[in-house]
């Protein structure tokens, strides 16, 4: 069901802007009034990463007048596979700075507001205030719930998206939606969980899938702002890059007297049996297995894996192997350990793909 446009048409479009967006003005059900609404709109994009990059690019190109960019991170080499706002020369620079420069080159008339401050429960409401729509491309539960709570308090709609591995999701949350259609992120996913689930860092992500989902988020934001099309409010759009198929799951608003909601079930690996003990020098156990520690920092596994060889998961992905692994026979066992089993599972896949024939991922 179409919604009324969120913003009014604030003045006429200059002739140069009409020429730039002429293909958009030809759209059935769009036209100059919708374009004028975009020109007067203020959109806050949380995250200038894999989802924020394409969302920001398409919103700037579409003619959104003001774009806020929230990110307190810097560009890393491993970002460049999917975070297409940034280039090799931006490594080490703040993501907001790199994003702002790219967006101004794309559309010099767009006003870009950089928010380098960390977004959390204490800062979210101040950042979101004054914007018309929030586009949430964040990758932590803490940020998602902080955005959701602040947006609900302010009555702002949130276009949300996520990508993990080959799979993506998009939805629109709005506590102040008309016609009894109000639904928020916690209504569907339940209370805020711990930060111990899978992530792109542990299971990987297909770069172009981020582009598909991020562009879809931009589409939803444009529809909200202009009143054109049917917004994905009350629907969870699910994307499978393996088949290039989209599915839509209907979401029911919570009952008025609901006390609690159940989160969507997610699979998390538990501890595995047979973990090695008593590692020897150079990371080898008494059974001749090489123990690799791929925890986030060295030493997080304690004494149980004393003598394990610590290596960053990103280094393994880059083929930068420690000498202990390079000197270990391909047929001999390799035990990969981490606190939850998520990083070790990803590392085991990498090593198996590179020829090690007996690789065993283990949780602490």
Q: What are 72's two structure tokens? A: 């307190």
**Quick check: helix, strand or coil at residue 353?**
helix
The residue among 297, 359, 362 whose CA lies nearest residue 329 is: 359
CA distance 145 to 207: 25
Contact 78, 50 (CB under 8 A): no
Q: Is the C-alpha dihedral spanning 122, 123, 126, 129 positive or negative?
A: negative
HEC string of 110-166?
CEEEEECCCCCCCCHHHHHCCCCEEEECCCCHHHHHHHHHHHHHHCCCEEEEEEEEC
Q: Is 200 in the active site?
A: yes
DSSP 38: H
Within 10 angstroms of residue 345's Cβ, the number of other Cβ atoms is 19
DSSP 107: -
- Catalytic entry in 110, 133, 172, 200: 200
Q: For tokens 């090489």, what's the residue?
A: 290
Measuring CA to CA, how many Å separate 220 from each of 156, 172, 195, 238? 14, 8, 28, 14
The residue among 134, 113, 137 whose CA lies nearest residue 124 is: 134
Which residues partner with 238 through β-bridges? 169, 247
Q: Is 210 in the active site?
A: no
Q: What secondary structure does DSSP assign to 5-26, as a single string?
A: -SS---SPPPHHHHHHTHHHHT
Contact 311, 303 (CB under 8 A): no
CB burial string 40-51: b at 16+ within 10 A, e below: bbbbbbbbbbbb
The residue among 70, 57, 71 whose CA lies nearest residue 104 is: 57
- Catalytic entry in 338, 347, 350, 351: 338
Catalytic center residues: 200, 338
């Amino acid at each position: 069901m179409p919604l009324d446009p969120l913003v009014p048409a604030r003045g006429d479009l200059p002739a140069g802007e009409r020429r730039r967006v002429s293909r958009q003005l030809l759209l059935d059900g769009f036209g100059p009034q919708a374009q004028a609404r975009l020109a007067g709109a203020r959109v806050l994009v949380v995250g200038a990463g894999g989802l924020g990059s394409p969302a920001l690019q398409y919103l700037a190109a579409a003619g959104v007048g003001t774009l806020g960019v929230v990110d307190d991170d810097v560009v890393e080499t491993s970002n460049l596979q999917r975070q297409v706002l940034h280039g090799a020369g931006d490594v080490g620079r703040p993501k907001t700075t790199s994003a702002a420069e790219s967006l101004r080159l794309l559309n010099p008339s767009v006003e870009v507001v950089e928010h380098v401050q960390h977004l959390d429960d204490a800062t979210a409401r101040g950042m979101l205030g004054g914007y018309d729509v929030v586009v949430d491309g964040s990758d932590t539960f803490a940020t998602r719930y902080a955005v959701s709570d602040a947006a609900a308090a302010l009555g702002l709609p949130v276009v949300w998206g996520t990508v993990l591995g080959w799979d993506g999701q998009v939805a629109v949350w709005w506590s102040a939606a008309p016609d009894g259609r109000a639904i928020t992120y916690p209504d569907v996913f339940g209370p805020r969980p711990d930060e111990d689930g899978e992530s792109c860092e542990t299971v990987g992500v297909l770069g172009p899938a981020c582009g598909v989902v991020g562009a879809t988020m931009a589409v939803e934001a444009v529809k909200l702002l202009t009143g054109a099309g049917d917004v994905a409010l009350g629907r969870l759009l699910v994307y499978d890059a393996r088949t290039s198929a989209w599915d839509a799951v209907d979401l029911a608003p919570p009952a008025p007297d609901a006390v609690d909601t159940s989160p969507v079930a997610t699979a998390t690996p538990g501890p595995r049996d047979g973990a090695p003990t008593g590692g020897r020098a150079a990371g080898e156990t008494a059974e001749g297995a090489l123990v690799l520690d791929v925890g986030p920092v060295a030493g997080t596994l304690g004494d149980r894996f004393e003598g394990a060889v610590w290596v960053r998961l990103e280094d393994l992905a880059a083929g930068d192997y420690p000498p202990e692994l390079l000197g270990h026979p391909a047929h001999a066992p390799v035990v990969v350990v981490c606190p939850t089993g998520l990083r070790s599972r990803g590392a085991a896949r990498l090593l198996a793909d590179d020829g090690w024939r007996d690789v065993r991922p283990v949780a602490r």
